[in-house]
Structure 1
Amino acid sequence: MTVLSTRTVEKPWGRDRLPAPFVAPEGTRIGEIWFEPPETLDQLLVKYIFTSEKLSIQNHPSDAQTEAKGQGRQGKEECWYVIDAEPGAALGIGFSEDVDADTMRAAAEDGSIEDMLVWHAVRAGDFFYIPANTVHAIGAGVSLIEVQQNSDITYRLYDYGRPRELHLDEGIAVATGTPHDPHLRFHVPARGTQRLVEGPFFVLDRLDGQPDAELRAQYTGPLLVIPREGSVTVDGEEVAPGGCALAHGIDAVRFADDGLCLVTRPC
């Protein structure tokens, strides 16, 4: 078992007050907490994201698109599991109607792309899967868990006038100018075991208590364990909420009978 080391990242758009169990050091604004991917399961990256301002409107390429550019398999599909949201918090995902490349570029240049996105009001428990190429943005006042393909390629299309590089040519070349598939977003009830992601790049489950035999049979290889309520033990070592650990099979994990936990593995 490996408890993953963390990387705490300060961001201008981060927060100085974080949801439990996290605490921001005095005078800091924490935007992200990353769990360093282990060598034996480096296809996935898990992070917490905390926002006090809107993040850039952006998208990511697919594996096929990065391979075609000679960059290897560096595509990024991701999902968001909201754990806390202030009143009025929202996530922008996909367009309200079909948009062609020229219209998208003009809207990114003049800022009207913000109003072309569909902004979903969110609360704790809301879940969204974001396919590669989807134009998206995280709004202010959101805390969420992101599980993603382990890639750092991001194409920023619009950044509210902040002095950061944009990537209009690259981003618009791969952008999906359509609405987000409604089947890829839903609310996760407070209790109960539920499959959140069923491929194509990773599987993600929210467990309530003990996994049944069917789920255990799907996690015989390496997996990441992310406790949400109640601790788990992996190979006899405790992992508390706010942590993430590598297990070499689900039978190495002891779950709390009344706990909630996320587990994920590559497909």
Structure 2
Amino acid sequence: QFEVPQGKRIGEVWFEPPPALPDILVKYIFTSEKLSVQVHPSDAQAKALGESDRGKEECWLVIDAEPDAVLGIGFTQPLDTEAMRDSALDGSIEGLMQWHPVSAGDFFYIPAGTVHAIGAGVSLIEIQQASDITYRLYDYGRPRELHLERGLQVAKGETYGGGTKLSWPEHGAAAIVRGPYFSADLVSGPTADGPAPVDHAPCIVIPVVGEAIVDGQTVQAGEAAYASDAAAVVFGAGSQCIVVRRPG
């Protein structure tokens, strides 16, 4: 498990994929400035482009946000490849993106090929395929490498339907992701005396509020831990946790 240092916007904190769940990566992301406009390929696209890694789908749960914080996902109107290219080159792509005002509890699923960017002043949990492939399309003039040609081969110049405000169950579990690469449930405690809210699969437990006991160890908000048996996790009274496991 890991802990986010108090009061520090450190960029990213990774929870290294456990051997039993090598395809799933959990991160905490904290932004003090805008992150690059970027896109990730699908598995098939990554293979076609000769990448050695898999593609990436991901989802975001906002856990804190400054008053004017936004996430950029998709475009305000459909764009073809040339329009995306031109706007990435001249910097106008930022103004063409769909910027979603966010607050704690907002949830977004980001399919492969979706152009996206995280604005300043956002703290979020990211659950993703374990992949290092990111194609930066635009980076506000910062001197980092861009990957425009590859990015344009996978980017969808589409609008995005928007996120959802999560509604935690009073007790037990509620599904939020049933995707091809990972499943995720919201679990509200206490659960010690009730039926197991999830099956016996290995999982990653991410407390958002309160704490859970995983293999005899207390895991609190700001941490994450691997559990070999999801049904054996004890979710504390008043806790709100995300449980991530393989699809199915």
Query: So what's the TM-score if we normalise by structure 2?
Result: 0.92
Q: Which amino acid aligns with 1:209?
A: G
Alpha-carbon separation, structure 2, partners of 1:175 and 1:249: 38
Offset at 1:245? 1.0
* Between 98-107 and 68-77, the greater mean CA deviation after superposition: 68-77
* 8 Å Cα contact 1:228/1:242 also seen in 2: yes
Alpha-carbon separation, structure 2, partners of 1:112 and 1:73: 31
Q: 1:188 aligns with which of 160, 163, 166?
A: 166
Residues 43-83 of structure 1 deviation map (CA, whole Å, 9 limit, x = unaligned)? 11111111111100000000111122343551100011001
Task: Report what 1:45 is aligned to.
Answer: 25
Is 1:161 aligned to 2:141, yes or no? yes
Is 1:222 aligned to 2:202, yes or no? yes
Task: Report what 2:113 is aligned to.
Answer: 133
Alpha-carbon separation, structure 2, partners of 1:116 and 1:135: 11
Residues 207-228 of structure 1 deviation map (CA, whole Å, 9 limit, x = unaligned)? 1114675842xx3211100112
* 8 Å Cα contact 2:53/2:133 also seen in 1: no
Is 1:81 aligned to 2:76, yes or no? no
Q: 2:127 aligns with which of 132, 140, 147?
A: 147
Task: Report what 1:23 is aligned to.
Answer: 6
Offset at 1:230? 1.9
Alpha-carbon separation, structure 1, partners of 2:50 and 2:156: 22
* Between 229-238 and 87-96, the greater mean CA deviation after superposition: 229-238
* 8 Å Cα contact 1:64/1:73 also seen in 2: no
Offset at 1:187? 0.5
Q: 1:91 aligns with which of 60, 63, 71?
A: 71
* 8 Å Cα contact 2:88/2:137 also seen in 1: yes
SS of residue paired to 1:145: strand
Alpha-carbon separation, structure 1, partners of 2:203 and 2:228: 6
Gaps of 5+ in 2: none
Q: Superposition RMSD on alpha carbons, in Å? A: 1.9
- The number of residues matched between the two structures is 243
Alpha-carbon separation, structure 1, partners of 2:174 and 2:91: 38
Q: Which amino acid aligns with 1:226?
A: I
Q: Which amino acid aligns with 1:187?
A: K
Offset at 1:251? 2.1
Alpha-carbon separation, structure 1, partners of 2:118 and 2:29: 9
Q: Which amino acid aligns with 2:167?
A: P
Task: Report what 1:197 is aligned to.
Answer: 177
Q: Which amino acid aligns with 1:80?
A: W
Alpha-carbon separation, structure 2, partners of 1:82 and 1:194: 18
* 8 Å Cα contact 2:187/2:197 also seen in 1: no
Alpha-carbon separation, structure 2, partners of 1:72 and 1:198: 26
Residues 9-55 of structure 1 deviation map (CA, whole Å, 9 limit, x = unaligned)? xxxxxxxxxxxx63256xxx511111111112111111111111110
Q: Which amino acid aligns with 2:160?
A: H
Q: Which amino acid aligns with 1:23?
A: Q
Gaps of 5+ in 1: 7-20
Alpha-carbon separation, structure 2, partners of 1:118 and 1:132: 17
Alpha-carbon separation, structure 1, partners of 2:87 and 2:240: 42
Map of 1:224-239 to 2, 5 A cutoff? Answer: 224-239=204-219
Q: Which amino acid aligns with 2:227?
A: A
* Between 111-120 and 193-202, the greater mean CA deviation after superposition: 193-202
Q: 1:179 aligns with which of 139, 145, 159?
A: 159
Task: Report what 1:249 is aligned to.
Answer: 229
Task: Report what 2:241 is aligned to.
Answer: 261
Q: Which amino acid aligns with 2:139?
A: D
Task: Report what 2:189 is aligned to.
Answer: 209
* 8 Å Cα contact 2:73/2:97 also seen in 1: yes
